[in-house]
Amino acid sequence: MQELLATIGWADLLAPIFFVLCWAGYAAVADGTPGSRSSLMSRMHEYRRLWMRRMLTRENRIPDLQVLLVLTQSNAFFASSAVLIVGGCLAILGAREQAMQVLADFPFVAHTPLVVWELKVLLLVVVFVYAFFKFTWSLRQFNYVAILIGGAPPPARAASTESLTYAESAAAVASRAAEHFNKAMRTFYFGLAALSWFLQPFLFMVLTALVVLVAYRREFKSHTLTAVGRVGEAVPGAPELSPRP
Protein backbone atom coordinates (compact mmCIF):
# COMPACT_ATOMS: atom_id res chain seq x y z
CA MET A 1 0.00 0.00 0.00
CA GLN A 2 2.84 2.38 0.88
CA GLU A 3 4.52 1.64 -2.44
CA LEU A 4 1.27 2.44 -4.26
CA LEU A 5 0.94 5.77 -2.45
CA ALA A 6 4.56 6.53 -3.23
CA THR A 7 3.93 6.15 -6.96
CA ILE A 8 0.89 8.44 -6.91
CA GLY A 9 1.55 12.16 -6.81
CA TRP A 10 -0.09 14.23 -4.11
CA ALA A 11 -2.05 16.16 -6.74
CA ASP A 12 -3.60 12.93 -8.06
CA LEU A 13 -4.55 12.04 -4.48
CA LEU A 14 -6.07 15.43 -3.78
CA ALA A 15 -7.98 15.84 -7.05
CA PRO A 16 -10.58 13.05 -6.62
CA ILE A 17 -11.11 14.01 -2.97
CA PHE A 18 -11.74 17.61 -4.01
CA PHE A 19 -14.08 16.34 -6.74
CA VAL A 20 -16.20 14.29 -4.35
CA LEU A 21 -16.34 17.06 -1.75
CA CYS A 22 -17.46 19.62 -4.33
CA TRP A 23 -20.11 17.32 -5.77
CA ALA A 24 -21.47 16.16 -2.41
CA GLY A 25 -21.23 19.64 -0.90
CA TYR A 26 -23.12 21.30 -3.71
CA ALA A 27 -25.80 18.58 -3.65
CA ALA A 28 -26.24 19.12 0.10
CA VAL A 29 -26.63 22.88 -0.37
CA ALA A 30 -28.84 22.77 -3.48
CA ASP A 31 -31.06 19.80 -2.62
CA GLY A 32 -31.19 19.44 1.13
CA THR A 33 -31.28 22.87 2.78
CA PRO A 34 -33.90 25.60 3.20
CA GLY A 35 -31.95 27.65 0.67
CA SER A 36 -32.97 25.22 -2.02
CA ARG A 37 -36.54 26.51 -1.73
CA SER A 38 -35.48 29.58 -3.70
CA SER A 39 -34.16 27.48 -6.56
CA LEU A 40 -35.43 27.12 -10.10
CA MET A 41 -36.56 23.57 -9.31
CA SER A 42 -38.75 24.83 -6.46
CA ARG A 43 -40.29 27.51 -8.66
CA MET A 44 -41.04 25.01 -11.42
CA HIS A 45 -42.84 22.84 -8.86
CA GLU A 46 -45.36 25.67 -8.48
CA TYR A 47 -45.92 25.59 -12.23
CA ARG A 48 -46.39 21.82 -12.10
CA ARG A 49 -49.08 22.31 -9.46
CA LEU A 50 -50.78 24.74 -11.82
CA TRP A 51 -50.39 22.27 -14.70
CA MET A 52 -52.01 19.43 -12.79
CA ARG A 53 -54.90 21.58 -11.57
CA ARG A 54 -55.61 22.77 -15.09
CA MET A 55 -55.28 19.20 -16.35
CA LEU A 56 -58.24 18.30 -14.15
CA THR A 57 -60.45 20.82 -15.96
CA ARG A 58 -59.74 19.42 -19.44
CA GLU A 59 -61.82 16.74 -21.11
CA ASN A 60 -59.04 16.04 -23.61
CA ARG A 61 -55.80 15.26 -21.75
CA ILE A 62 -53.80 14.16 -24.76
CA PRO A 63 -51.77 17.45 -24.74
CA ASP A 64 -50.69 16.67 -21.17
CA LEU A 65 -49.49 13.25 -22.23
CA GLN A 66 -47.64 14.79 -25.18
CA VAL A 67 -45.75 17.04 -22.79
CA LEU A 68 -44.78 13.96 -20.79
CA LEU A 69 -43.66 12.24 -23.99
CA VAL A 70 -41.18 15.05 -24.66
CA LEU A 71 -39.84 14.76 -21.11
CA THR A 72 -39.44 10.99 -21.29
CA GLN A 73 -37.67 11.23 -24.65
CA SER A 74 -35.05 13.51 -23.08
CA ASN A 75 -34.53 11.00 -20.28
CA ALA A 76 -34.21 8.10 -22.70
CA PHE A 77 -31.67 9.98 -24.84
CA PHE A 78 -29.38 10.85 -21.94
CA ALA A 79 -29.74 7.40 -20.37
CA SER A 80 -28.63 5.84 -23.67
CA SER A 81 -25.73 8.30 -23.83
CA ALA A 82 -24.64 7.30 -20.33
CA VAL A 83 -24.63 3.63 -21.32
CA LEU A 84 -22.50 4.39 -24.39
CA ILE A 85 -20.03 6.37 -22.30
CA VAL A 86 -19.73 3.55 -19.76
CA GLY A 87 -19.19 1.05 -22.56
CA GLY A 88 -16.52 3.28 -24.09
CA CYS A 89 -14.72 3.59 -20.75
CA LEU A 90 -14.70 -0.18 -20.28
CA ALA A 91 -13.38 -0.62 -23.81
CA ILE A 92 -10.58 1.83 -23.05
CA LEU A 93 -9.58 -0.29 -20.06
CA GLY A 94 -9.00 -3.15 -22.47
CA ALA A 95 -6.75 -1.00 -24.65
CA ARG A 96 -5.15 1.13 -21.98
CA GLU A 97 -1.63 1.00 -23.42
CA GLN A 98 -2.75 2.46 -26.74
CA ALA A 99 -4.90 5.08 -25.04
CA MET A 100 -2.09 6.13 -22.70
CA GLN A 101 0.25 6.40 -25.67
CA VAL A 102 -2.18 8.73 -27.46
CA LEU A 103 -2.35 11.02 -24.42
CA ALA A 104 1.42 10.88 -23.94
CA ASP A 105 1.90 12.56 -27.31
CA PHE A 106 0.46 15.80 -25.89
CA PRO A 107 3.22 17.89 -24.27
CA PHE A 108 1.04 19.32 -21.49
CA VAL A 109 -0.30 15.98 -20.21
CA ALA A 110 1.02 14.93 -16.80
CA HIS A 111 2.75 11.56 -16.53
CA THR A 112 0.41 9.03 -14.95
CA PRO A 113 1.21 5.60 -13.50
CA LEU A 114 -0.88 2.77 -14.88
CA VAL A 115 -2.82 2.24 -11.66
CA VAL A 116 -3.74 5.94 -11.48
CA TRP A 117 -4.81 5.94 -15.11
CA GLU A 118 -7.11 2.99 -14.46
CA LEU A 119 -8.58 4.79 -11.44
CA LYS A 120 -9.37 7.76 -13.67
CA VAL A 121 -11.30 5.52 -16.05
CA LEU A 122 -13.11 3.80 -13.18
CA LEU A 123 -14.12 7.20 -11.79
CA LEU A 124 -15.82 7.99 -15.09
CA VAL A 125 -17.53 4.61 -15.06
CA VAL A 126 -18.92 5.21 -11.56
CA VAL A 127 -20.07 8.74 -12.42
CA PHE A 128 -21.95 7.78 -15.56
CA VAL A 129 -23.42 4.61 -14.06
CA TYR A 130 -24.85 6.84 -11.34
CA ALA A 131 -26.21 9.17 -14.03
CA PHE A 132 -27.81 6.21 -15.82
CA PHE A 133 -29.68 5.10 -12.71
CA LYS A 134 -30.86 8.66 -12.05
CA PHE A 135 -32.13 9.06 -15.62
CA THR A 136 -33.95 5.73 -15.63
CA TRP A 137 -35.58 6.41 -12.25
CA SER A 138 -36.71 9.79 -13.53
CA LEU A 139 -38.09 8.07 -16.63
CA ARG A 140 -40.07 5.61 -14.52
CA GLN A 141 -41.53 8.41 -12.41
CA PHE A 142 -42.65 10.31 -15.51
CA ASN A 143 -44.39 7.10 -16.56
CA TYR A 144 -46.15 7.12 -13.21
CA VAL A 145 -47.27 10.70 -13.89
CA ALA A 146 -48.82 9.49 -17.15
CA ILE A 147 -50.75 6.88 -15.19
CA LEU A 148 -51.89 9.53 -12.71
CA ILE A 149 -53.13 11.71 -15.57
CA GLY A 150 -54.97 8.74 -17.05
CA GLY A 151 -56.66 8.04 -13.74
CA ALA A 152 -57.43 11.68 -12.85
CA PRO A 153 -60.98 12.61 -11.78
CA PRO A 154 -63.35 13.95 -14.47
CA PRO A 155 -63.60 17.71 -15.11
CA ALA A 156 -66.96 17.90 -13.38
CA ARG A 157 -65.20 17.14 -10.09
CA ALA A 158 -62.13 19.35 -10.72
CA ALA A 159 -62.96 21.78 -7.89
CA SER A 160 -63.53 19.13 -5.24
CA THR A 161 -61.13 18.69 -2.35
CA GLU A 162 -60.34 15.13 -3.41
CA SER A 163 -59.46 16.26 -6.95
CA LEU A 164 -57.22 19.07 -5.73
CA THR A 165 -55.42 16.63 -3.44
CA TYR A 166 -55.02 14.30 -6.41
CA ALA A 167 -53.50 17.14 -8.45
CA GLU A 168 -51.05 17.91 -5.64
CA SER A 169 -49.94 14.28 -5.56
CA ALA A 170 -49.46 14.18 -9.34
CA ALA A 171 -47.46 17.43 -9.22
CA ALA A 172 -45.29 16.01 -6.42
CA VAL A 173 -44.47 12.90 -8.46
CA ALA A 174 -43.70 15.04 -11.52
CA SER A 175 -41.39 17.24 -9.46
CA ARG A 176 -39.60 14.20 -8.06
CA ALA A 177 -39.05 12.96 -11.59
CA ALA A 178 -37.70 16.35 -12.62
CA GLU A 179 -35.47 16.46 -9.55
CA HIS A 180 -33.82 13.16 -10.48
CA PHE A 181 -33.40 14.36 -14.05
CA ASN A 182 -31.76 17.52 -12.72
CA LYS A 183 -29.38 15.48 -10.55
CA ALA A 184 -28.50 13.26 -13.51
CA MET A 185 -27.73 16.29 -15.69
CA ARG A 186 -25.56 17.67 -12.88
CA THR A 187 -23.73 14.34 -12.88
CA PHE A 188 -23.01 14.79 -16.58
CA TYR A 189 -21.47 18.19 -15.84
CA PHE A 190 -19.20 16.73 -13.17
CA GLY A 191 -18.39 13.79 -15.43
CA LEU A 192 -17.20 16.16 -18.15
CA ALA A 193 -14.99 17.88 -15.58
CA ALA A 194 -13.58 14.47 -14.58
CA LEU A 195 -12.36 13.97 -18.15
CA SER A 196 -9.77 16.69 -17.56
CA TRP A 197 -8.08 14.50 -14.93
CA PHE A 198 -6.52 12.62 -17.84
CA LEU A 199 -4.67 15.84 -18.71
CA GLN A 200 -3.76 17.49 -15.42
CA PRO A 201 -5.02 17.00 -11.84
CA PHE A 202 -4.93 20.77 -11.24
CA LEU A 203 -7.04 21.37 -14.33
CA PHE A 204 -9.44 18.73 -12.99
CA MET A 205 -9.86 20.65 -9.72
CA VAL A 206 -10.29 24.00 -11.47
CA LEU A 207 -12.98 22.65 -13.81
CA THR A 208 -14.73 20.92 -10.91
CA ALA A 209 -14.97 24.25 -9.08
CA LEU A 210 -16.18 25.87 -12.30
CA VAL A 211 -18.95 23.28 -12.61
CA VAL A 212 -20.10 24.12 -9.08
CA LEU A 213 -20.24 27.82 -9.96
CA VAL A 214 -22.11 27.22 -13.22
CA ALA A 215 -24.60 24.85 -11.59
CA TYR A 216 -25.23 27.31 -8.74
CA ARG A 217 -25.78 30.22 -11.09
CA ARG A 218 -28.21 28.27 -13.26
CA GLU A 219 -30.21 27.02 -10.31
CA PHE A 220 -30.29 30.13 -8.11
CA LYS A 221 -29.21 33.19 -10.14
CA SER A 222 -30.23 32.49 -13.75
CA HIS A 223 -32.24 34.71 -16.06
CA THR A 224 -34.67 31.81 -16.41
CA LEU A 225 -35.49 31.99 -12.69
CA THR A 226 -36.06 35.73 -13.05
CA ALA A 227 -38.33 35.16 -16.04
CA VAL A 228 -40.57 32.58 -14.32
CA GLY A 229 -40.63 34.49 -11.04
CA ARG A 230 -39.23 33.88 -7.62
CA VAL A 231 -40.49 31.14 -5.32
CA GLY A 232 -43.58 32.32 -3.47
CA GLU A 233 -44.71 34.81 -6.09
CA ALA A 234 -48.15 34.37 -7.63
CA VAL A 235 -47.99 32.27 -10.78
CA PRO A 236 -48.89 34.53 -13.75
CA GLY A 237 -52.38 33.86 -15.05
CA ALA A 238 -53.34 31.82 -12.00
CA PRO A 239 -54.13 34.12 -9.07
CA GLU A 240 -56.23 31.35 -7.56
CA LEU A 241 -53.15 29.16 -7.10
CA SER A 242 -51.35 30.16 -3.93
CA PRO A 243 -47.87 28.65 -3.52
CA ARG A 244 -47.59 26.01 -0.86
CA PRO A 245 -45.27 27.12 1.96
Pairwise CA distance, residues 37 & 30, whole Å: 9
Residue 131 lies in a domain: yes
Distance CA(135)–CA(131), nearest Å, equals 6
* DSSP conformational letter for 197: G
User: Mean pLDDT across the stretch 149-162?
Assistant: 91
- In a domain, residue 9? The reply is no
Q: What is the rounded average pLDDT of the residues 158-177?
A: 93
The average pLDDT across 136-145 equals 95
Q: Is the pLDDT of residue 33 over 80?
A: no
Residue 127 lies in a domain: yes
Percent of the chain with pLDDT over 70: 86
In the chain, the N- to C-terminal Cα span, in Å, equals 53
Total of domains in the chain: 1
For residue range 55-104, list pLDDT tens digits in order. 999 999 999 999 999 989 989 999 999 999 999 888 888 777 776 776 66
11 inside domain: no
Q: Whole-model pTM?
A: 0.86
Q: What is the mean pLDDT of the chain?
A: 86
Q: Is the pLDDT of residue 129 over 90?
A: yes
pLDDT at 244: 45
What is the band of 230 on the pLDDT scale with cuts at 50, 70, 90? confident
The answer to whether residue 16 sits within a structural domain is no
Give the domain extent around 188. Answer: 43-228
Domain membership of residue 36 (yes or no) is no
What b-and-e string marks burial along 35-65, b requiring 16 or more CB atoms within 10 Å of the CB?
ebeebbbbbbbbbbbbbbbebbeeeeeeebe
Top pLDDT among 130 and 199 is at: 130
Task: Work out the number of other CB atoms within 10 angstroms of the CB of residue 237.
Answer: 8
With respect to residue 91, please indicate whether it lies within any of the assigned structural domains. yes
Q: Is residue 23 part of a domain?
A: no
DSSP collapsed to 3 states, the chain: CHHHHHHCCHHHHHHHHHHHHHHHHHHHHHHCCHHHHHCHHHHHHHHHHHHHHHHHCCCCCHHHHHHHHHHHHHHHHHHHHHHHHHHHHHHHHHCHHHHHHHHHCCCCCCCCCHHHHHHHHHHHHHHHHHHHHHHHHHHHHHHHHHHHHHCCCCHHHCCCHHHHHHHHHHHHHHHHHHHHHHHHHHHHHHHHHHHHHHCCHHHHHHHHHHHHHHHHHHHHCCHHHHHHCCCCCCCCCCCCCCCCC
